[in-house]
Amino acid sequence: MTGKELQEKLTWKFADISKRYPEDVEKADRFCSGYKDFLNRGKTERECVSETVKLLEAAGYRPLDIHREYQAGDKVYEINRGKSVIATTFGTRPLEEGIRMNGAHIDSPRLDLKPNPVFEKNGIAYFKTHYYGGIRKYQWVTIPLSMHGIVYLEDGTKVEICLGEKEGEPVFCMTDLLPHLSAEQNGRKLSEGIKGEELNVIIGSLPYEDSEEIKEAVKLKALVLLHEYYGITEKDFLRAEIELVPTYKAVDIGLDRSLIGAYGQDDRVCAYTALQAEIDVKAPVYTTMTVLADKEEIGSTGNTGLDSDFVLHYVEKLAAVMKVDSRDVLRNSLCLSSDVNAAYDPTFASVYEDRNSCYVNKGCVLTKYTGSRGKSGSNDASAETMAKVIRIMDEAGVCWQTGELGAVDAGGGGTIAKFVAAMDVDVVDLGVPILSMHSPFELSSKLDVYHTYRAFKAFYEAE
Ligand code: MN
Ligand code: MN
């Protein structure tokens, strides 16, 4: 053998998608127009559940009914408290041979209103916020924010809020100092450039009209307007979940339109691709389960996050319907914990190890382990699990790559994988490389999004 032939045989490099499949540039662009719509319509976990259920119902899915019998190809779903959702297509193999699961999350970093949020200071009315998930606070000031959420009134009426998304609607904003006066602030560490208690969102600046007689007339004016818009009072914020999110719509980035810029791509990019794969699979061999979960960004806590038993209980229901032991089902199942990874950023190369980073336009990223300080808090998928998933993707001609979450000891993070593993299920992380992850405007590659969809579809269709 020549050196060149030996090199071909013995070494390995991940492919550039556009070189291997030039025709996929256009296919990816088409696929991503639906993805951009999904991002624009679902900016909170609740809105994502509503959008998902619309798509599921349109595709013939119906709520799971444990008193019914199901055949291969039947499609069902179940909503958990309006904030997470699971969809299933029944397979041709017996359920005890395992489920093909795909878990993504639909919560994203944002600013939540504090329970008592409204205040006035020196003629400006504000909302006090508490950030949710890992954000770099300085990135969130001086950008337009819209208000989404729900409020329960005294009488139990539920009011849904979505303000700032439609053309012409008012939006909200946090301020930052001008460079002329930032000498003291410039001396702060970047992580403290904007501090937690400086995340105050402007909601108004005009006083209530007969302001002579009342204190805090600007706050009152804001409350009057909130009451006009939504019928709510200050006390109602105690029965609310209101999130402030970037107003930006999803757009194409670059002269070649190869990238998508949008808020909330972590992890709605995997939610959308998993959902489309779930919908598009017709009569799979293994029964599928597509889980779109809440609360991943704060550790999968709460009863809508993966560190709760709602997924286990769903598997138990499926097992009861099929009259099999749920422990056999779980032990034989294979799961993709579908989450984004940090794409190699040439501008900030030092935090990456270039041989083990994922890159835009090289496909979905298979992440064996996450965690920090020696893989701590990670699932660390087994060689057997890696082998199964790699075989499925290779046989389907999917472009994929591996990636670590940054160089050793550069930082770290976690996903839902360890909670799935705790149910005695084989699991590995797979998702889309993202630039500027957790910023108000994250970037993904259309080709990567499309090949992630292809990976998920192959995973559901494989024998
Ligand atoms: Mn994520
Ligand atoms: Mn995240």
Residue 377 C-alpha to ligand 2 middle, in angstroms? 15
Q: Does the structure show a pLDDT above 90 at 28?
A: yes
What is the whole-number distance in angstroms between the Cα of residue 439 and the centre of ligand 2? 10
Find out whether 97 and 111 touch, Cβ atoms under 8 Å.
no
pTM: 0.97
CA of 6 to the centre of ligand 1 (A): 39
Find the 359 Cα to ligand 2 centroid distance in Å.
18
Q: How far is the CA of 85 from the centre of ligand 2 (A)?
A: 19
Q: What is the mean pLDDT of the chain?
A: 96
**In the 3-class helix/strand/coil scheme, how is 150-169 assigned residue by residue?**
EEECCCCCEEEEEECCCCCC
Which ligand has its closest atom nearest to the C-alpha of 337? 1
Question: What does the pLDDT look like over 135-178, one tens digit per residue?
Answer: 999 999 999 999 999 999 999 999 999 999 999 999 999 999 99
**Longest CA pairwise span in the chain (Å):** 94
Q: Give residue 201 CA to ligand 1 midpoint distance, Å.
A: 26
Q: Ligand 2 mean position to 461 CA, how many Å? A: 28
DSSP 426: E
Closest ligand to the CA of 437: 2
Tell how far the Cα of 431 is from the centroid of ligand 2, in angstroms.
Answer: 12
pLDDT digits (tens, 9 = 90+) for 238-286: 999 999 999 999 999 999 999 999 999 999 999 999 999 999 999 899 9
| For the CA of 104, the nearest ligand | 1
> How far apart are the CA of 132 and the centre of ligand 2, in A?
11
What is the identity of the amino acid at 337?
S
| Per-residue pLDDT band at 221 (split at 50, 70, 90) | very high
Residue 225 contacts by C-beta under 8 Å, 6 or more apart in sequence?
Answer: 204
pLDDT score recorded for residue 372: 87
d(CA 229, CA 102): 40
In whole angstroms, give the CA distance from residue 142 to residue 161.
22
Please report the domains of the chain, with CATH numbers, ordered by start residue: 10-108+263-461 (3.40.630.10), 110-246 (2.30.250.10)
* Distances from the Cα of 452 to the Cα of 86, 225, 379, angstroms: 19, 44, 21
Residue 211: both structure tokens together: 């302001």
180 pLDDT exceeds 90? Answer: yes
Q: Cα 342 to chain center, whole Å?
A: 14
- The model's confidence at residue 406, banded by pLDDT at 50, 70 and 90, is confident
Gap from CA of 365 to ligand 1 centroid (Å) = 13
- pLDDT tens string 294-323: 999 999 999 999 999 999 999 999 999 999
